[in-house]
């Protein structure tokens, strides 16, 4: 079902349905108007001083069959990443305890798989999810595509969020990935939703996409019914050996515009300023927080690439008067 945004509607079609053209127009608005409106909507829907903090761990690294042109873990590219087997449960829980000690409220585990396969490895991931929940942390996994029964098993293990990004707009998708389709990704999101797991889905900027492709991605996310609870906005980390290693760095305003438009189109979602923060200035990040970003990854590594030093992140949050949450930002805003 298509839906118009609940506030500050960008112009939409006569039927009131959100259109890609309307999202293009939103992305092209004068930057400060866009940020001002997004900030206003943000403050109506969320506790503006709070930032949800996740920590990531790669539980199974490299050797992936897929050809995602940005990814250090695709077996199709010769990158600095070495292939590793699925980690042991205890090793993962040790990292989760450390993440909790460092202020994270959610622990996200990523596997370089095209899809989940039933068997010993999946059972081990289910044990990891149970263990993370026992530590009192929210749990998130990103394991590639999955079917309905697998989503149900993850839910039964206590999984809170499943991350599965749409990555880019439909018109640009085949320039980035050819080994699975956008329709495959949407099917997995349906299974996650049907199992009652919160959906975390966003995309990547800097893949050579047009403004229209960015608008298509936002349109697709905003018209999911319901839209994702969590929307990561990643900027390409240019990994040597990948298809996009030579892509030009993005102008910082592109990220701000994408965050602000996501905030206006999906007012209730938590928007994560994800990969790419090491190349952003503090000022650029500050504008993203003003425009509605209210989540980050904390910790000096993402999956296989660096993230800002935790001390500098703590200092940045302190300078901006933002507080890391020990629980969901959306729940705090609702007074739960």
- From 38, 51, 222, 237, residue interacting with ligand DTB (rule: CB under 6 A): 237
Q: Per rule CB under 6 A, is residue 167 in the interface with ligand SAM?
A: yes
Q: State the CB neighbour count (10 A cutoff) for residue 196.
A: 10
272 is catalytic: yes
Q: Which two tokens stand for residue 303?
A: 């999956």
Q: State the CB neighbour count (10 A cutoff) for residue 87.
A: 21
- Answer with the entry of ligand SF4, ligand SAM, ligand DTB, none that 93 interacts with (C-beta below 5 to 8 A by kind): none
Catalytic residue among 106, 185, 272, 277: 272
- From 74, 195, 304, 330, residue interacting with ligand DTB (rule: CB under 6 A): 304
Q: By CB under 6 A, which span of 7-15, 190-198, 296-304, 314-322 interacts with ligand DTB?
A: 296-304
Q: State the CB neighbour count (10 A cutoff) for residue 178.
A: 12
108 is catalytic: yes
Subset of residues 143 to 162 that bind ligand SAM, contact rule: CB under 6 A? 144
- From 230, 274, 285, 295, residue interacting with ligand DTB (rule: CB under 6 A): 274
Catalytic residue among 53, 68, 277, 288: 68
Number of residues that bind ligand SAM (CB under 6 A): 19
Subset of residues 188 to 227 that bind ligand DTB, contact rule: CB under 6 A? 202
- Say how far apart CA 177 and CA 190 lie, in whole Å: 20
Q: Per rule CB under 6 A, is residue 232 in the interface with ligand DTB?
A: yes
CB of 215 to ligand SAM, least distance (A): 18
- Say how far apart CA 186 and CA 225 lie, in whole Å: 12
- Say how far apart CA 161 and CA 183 lie, in whole Å: 20
Please list, in sequence order, all residues whose beta carbon lies within 8 angstroms of the beta carbon of residue 146, skipping any fewer than 6 positions away: 115, 116, 154, 162, 188, 191, 192
Residue 173 has φ and ψ, to the nearest 5°, of -55, -45
Q: Per rule CB under 6 A, is residue 113 in the interface with ligand SAM?
A: yes
- b/e map 284-309, b = 16+ CB within 10 Å: bbbbbbbbbbbbbbbbeebbbeebbe
Q: Which two tokens stand for residue 271?
A: 């928007």
CB of 72 to ligand SAM, least distance (A): 6
Q: Respond yes or no on whether the N-terminal peptide bond of residue 72 is cis (omega within 30° of 0).
A: no
- From 143, 222, 275, 290, residue interacting with ligand DTB (rule: CB under 6 A): 275
Catalytic residue among 106, 200, 263, 277: 200
Number of residues that bind ligand DTB (CB under 6 A): 16
The helix or strand, by DSSP H or E, that contains position 35, with its residue range, turns out to be helix 31-45
53 is catalytic: no
- Which residue, 29 or 114, has its beta carbon nearer to ligand SF4? 114
68 is catalytic: yes
Strand-pairing partners, residue 108, are 56, 140
Q: How far is CA 290 from the centre of its chain?
A: 18
- Say how far apart CA 109 and CA 38 lie, in whole Å: 30
Q: By CB under 6 A, which span of 119-127, 186-194, 255-263, 302-310 interacts with ligand DTB?
A: 302-310
Q: Which two tokens stand for residue 107?
A: 């622990």
- Which residue, 19 or 168, has its beta carbon nearer to ligand DTB? 168
- Which residue, 103 or 206, has its beta carbon nearer to ligand DTB? 206
140 is catalytic: yes
The helix or strand, by DSSP H or E, that contains position 183, with its residue range, turns out to be helix 182-194
Residues that bind ligand SAM (CB under 6 A): 70-73, 110, 112-113, 142, 144, 164-165, 167, 204, 234, 236-237, 239, 275, 303
**Annotated active-site positions, please?**
64, 68, 71, 108, 140, 200, 272
């Amino acid at each position: 079902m298509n839906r118009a945004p609940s506030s500050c509607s960008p112009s939409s079609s006569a039927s009131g349905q959100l259109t890609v053209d309307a999202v293009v127009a939103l992305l092209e608005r004068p930057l400060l108007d866009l940020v001002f409106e997004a900030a206003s909507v943000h403050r109506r829907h969320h506790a503006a001083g709070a930032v949800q903090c996740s920590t990531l761990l790669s539980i199974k690294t490299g050797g992936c069959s897929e050809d995602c042109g940005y990814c250090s873990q695709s077996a199709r590219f010769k990158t600095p990443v070495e292939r590793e087997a699925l980690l042991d449960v205890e090793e993962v829980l040790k990292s989760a305890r450390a993440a909790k000690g460092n202020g994270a409220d959610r622990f996200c585990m990523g596997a370089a798989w095209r899809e989940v396969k039933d068997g010993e490895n999946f059972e081990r991931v289910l044990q990891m999810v149970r263990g993370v929940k026992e530590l009192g942390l929210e749990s998130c996994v990103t394991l590639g595509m999955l079917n309905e029964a697998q989503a149900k098993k993850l839910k039964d293990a206590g999984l809170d969020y499943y991350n599965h990004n749409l990555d880019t707009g439909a018109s640009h998708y085949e320039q980035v990935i050819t080994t699975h389709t956008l329709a495959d990704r949407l099917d997995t999101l349906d299974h996650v939703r049907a199992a009652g797991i919160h959906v975390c889905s966003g995309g990547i900027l800097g893949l050579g996409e047009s403004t229209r492709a960015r608008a298509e991605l936002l349109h697709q996310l905003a018209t999911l019914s319901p839209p994702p609870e969590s929307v990561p906005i990643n900027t390409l980390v240019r990994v040597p050996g990948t298809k996009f290693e030579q892509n030009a760095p993005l102008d910082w305003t592109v990220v701000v515009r994408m965050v602000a438009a996501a905030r206006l189109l999906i007012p209730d979602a938590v928007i994560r300023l994800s990969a790419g923060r090491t190349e952003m200035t503090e000022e650029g990040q500050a504008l993203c927080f003003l425009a509605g970003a209210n989540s980050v990854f904390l910790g000096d590594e993402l999956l296989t690439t660096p993230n800002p030093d935790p001390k500098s992140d703590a200092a940045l949050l302190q300078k901006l008067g933002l507080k890391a949450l020990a629980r969901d930002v959306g729940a705090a805003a609702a007074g739960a």
